[in-house]
Chains A and B, each alone.
Chain A
Amino acid sequence: MIRCRGLVHVYPNGTRAVDGVDLAIEAGERVAIVGQNGSGKSTLVRHWNGLLRPTAGEVEIDGRAAAGQRVAALARTVGIAFQDPDRQIFAGRVRTEVEFGPRNVGLRGAALTTAIDAALDATGLTDAAAANPYDLGFSRRKLLALASILAMGTPVVVLDEPTTGQDARGTKRVEAVVADLAAQGRTVVAISHDMRFVAENFARVVVMAAGHVILDGPPEEVFAEPSWPSLASTYLEAPLSARLGARLGLGSTPTDASLIDALGGATAGG
């Protein structure tokens, strides 16, 4: 679905944000991209809908080169939900706001209404459909920004820091959305700083540092003890369950559930 070959991006001020990335993401995968600020995560994903063009290397979306396509065209395949909802909200009503994206990619009539309803439902905003976005709190505005992208029905959905600034309820909502998208067979990619959120909801973790991909695999691998030095090089730490599991000699336990299972197994085994 998404293929990057030797991707390099150098900003006008000389910063080499992405320095040779080879990455392939198949349809239906759930991938998390992690790494400290400045490691190139945001720069990387912006190549997938054409907002940024490579300085060198190629990007292929759904089998076609991204190079010849306009952003408006690529946006039908790859929807990116950005961090700051206040940097995109412009409508006076929630429903009108959500309508913007799907309308742009060509939905009309019954299909449009269904898409909007589904997006509002998934983000828990159905009751607020007629409200002014700025009457909602920050949590719900962030969910509104997410709904605006979901309604577009893109095969690939990219979430840029979906849980930053969210409280527990908002985070649970985001987790439900991710699971829902995966169930629909859509590809989900999330940039996040929350290692627990990543370990519990994504089947694949890509770790970036200084414009390179330094680790790429399932959470069991990426958060296991042998990977800790690499994580540390980009100022990341494995979730507590992984660290505990290692300390107790229970192997790789990136999620709470896996740690408890391992603990139960260890206890049962005697």
Chain B
Amino acid sequence: MPLAVLLVGVLPSALAAGILPRLVRLAGALSLPIGISVALVSIFTRAGETVLFQIGPFDATLEGVDFAAQIIVRLFVLAAALTLFGLTTEPRAFVVDLERRGLPPRLAFAAAATLEAIPTMIERALAIQSAQRARGLDTEGSLRARVRGVMPLVGPVILSSLTEVEERSLALEVRAFGRPGRRHLLWWLSDSPSQRLVRWALLAGLVVLFAGRAAGALPALP
């Protein structure tokens, strides 16, 4: 079942968006580490009858391999779907659309600002690293030296971020961010009948899947 979702839904969409190789790489990076560890455990511990090979006291069963394969596929599909969303959605546009559909402006801002915060923090961390290296902090030496360098690197990042928070929030208040009530946004996401159709179809499909599982018509994991 998940394989069907992957082949019919996720991968063609990725192909259409031109991001298929990136999607596969990212989804793989997300899902495979966990997938492989789960697989290793379940191959050897799953109760089963057909033993394929043995390593010490552990039996690798066919049922175990089957289970492991299913887990990996499901994890990959999950990761692929999430990655598809992440790669094809512009965060700012997404947040704006949420606000249009009723999300309070403050939450919308918080979401958008969080996304922006990362590049800023990276820039800050790099500036701090430069300053401390100029004071002789060794970032290219032994592991012990690098461990000793954590506080001088992390401390100022946190301290200066906190100090800046006050000024940032004042600057936001001055722009009337705290005002209750809705805003008349200048920008909107364009929607089309075909997009709406796909959204309804997906929702309907989800309902069918839930109903099918509840009615016992669809297979569960062995």
- Chain B contact residues, majority secondary structure: helix
CB of B124 within 8 A of CB of A87, answer: yes
Give complex CA distance A80, B134 in Å: 6
A86 touching B133 in the complex, CB below 8 Å, given contacts A70-B138, A104-B138, A134-B163: no
Among residues of A, the one whose C-beta sits closest to the C-beta of B138 is A72
CB of B159 within 8 A of CB of A51, answer: no
Instruction: Confirm or deny: B139 has a beta carbon within 8 angstroms of a beta carbon on chain A.
Output: yes
A148 touching B135 in the complex, CB below 8 Å, given contacts A87-B128, A90-B155: yes
Query: Closest Cβ of chain B: how far from A59's Cβ, in Å?
Result: 15
Give complex CA distance A75, B136 in Å: 5
Give complex CA distance A148, B138 in Å: 16
Please indicate the chain B residues that have their CB under 8 angstroms from the CB of A70 in the complex: 138, 140-141
CB of A86 within 8 A of CB of B134, answer: no
A82 touching B160 in the complex, CB below 8 Å, given contacts A71-B139, A87-B128: no
Among B140, B152, B159, point to the contact of A71 (Cβ < 8 A).
B140
Give complex CA distance A199, B97 in Å: 56
CB of B159 within 8 A of CB of A89, answer: yes
Give complex CA distance A72, B135 in Å: 8
Query: Closest Cβ of chain A: how far from B123's Cβ, in Å?
Result: 10
Give complex CA distance A201, B136 in Å: 28
Query: Closest Cβ of chain A: how far from B126's Cβ, in Å?
Result: 10
Give complex CA distance A148, B155 in Å: 16
Q: Which range contains the number of A residues in contact with the other chain?
A: 20 to 34
A51 touching B133 in the complex, CB below 8 Å, given contacts A70-B141, A88-B128: yes
Query: Closest Cβ of chain B: how far from A132's Cβ, in Å?
Result: 11
Contact with B along A136-174 (1 / 0, CB 8 A): 000000000000110010000000000000000000000
Instruction: Confirm or deny: B13 has a beta carbon within 8 angstroms of a beta carbon on chain A.
Output: no
CB of B130 within 8 A of CB of A82, answer: yes
CB of A105 within 8 A of CB of B136, answer: yes
Please indicate the chain B residues that have their CB under 8 angstroms from the CB of A51 in the complex: 130, 133-134
Among residues of B, the one whose C-beta sits closest to the C-beta of A48 is B134
Query: Closest Cβ of chain A: how far from B133's Cβ, in Å?
Result: 5
Instruction: Confirm or deny: B156 has a beta carbon within 8 angstroms of a beta carbon on chain A.
Output: yes
Query: Closest Cβ of chain B: how far from A238's Cβ, in Å?
Result: 31
Give complex CA distance A4, B46 in Å: 67
Give complex CA distance A70, B142 in Å: 13
Instruction: Confirm or deny: B137 has a beta carbon within 8 angstroms of a beta carbon on chain A.
Output: yes
Please indicate the chain A residues that have their CB under 8 angstroms from the CB of B152 in the complex: 88, 90, 100
Please indicate the chain A residues that have their CB under 8 angstroms from the CB of B127 in the complex: 82, 84, 87
Among residues of A, the one whose C-beta sits closest to the C-beta of B135 is A101
Instruction: Confirm or deny: B34 has a beta carbon within 8 angstroms of a beta carbon on chain A.
Output: no
Give complex CA distance A76, B137 in Å: 11
A82 touching B131 in the complex, CB below 8 Å, given contacts A87-B124, A101-B136, A134-B159: yes
Report B's interface with A, CB cutoff 8 A: 124, 127-128, 130-141, 151-152, 155-156, 159-160, 163
8 residue pairs, one from A and one from B, having the closest CB atoms = A104-B136, A90-B155, A88-B131, A72-B138, A101-B135, A75-B136, A80-B134, A86-B160
7 other A-B residue contacts (CB within 8 Å) besides A86-B156, A149-B134: A71-B138, A88-B128, A88-B156, A90-B156, A90-B159, A149-B135, A152-B135
Can you spell out 17 A-B residue pairs with CB atoms less than 8 angstroms apart? Answer: A51-B130, A51-B134, A70-B138, A71-B138, A71-B139, A72-B139, A75-B133, A82-B127, A82-B131, A82-B134, A86-B160, A87-B127, A88-B128, A104-B136, A148-B135, A149-B134, A149-B135
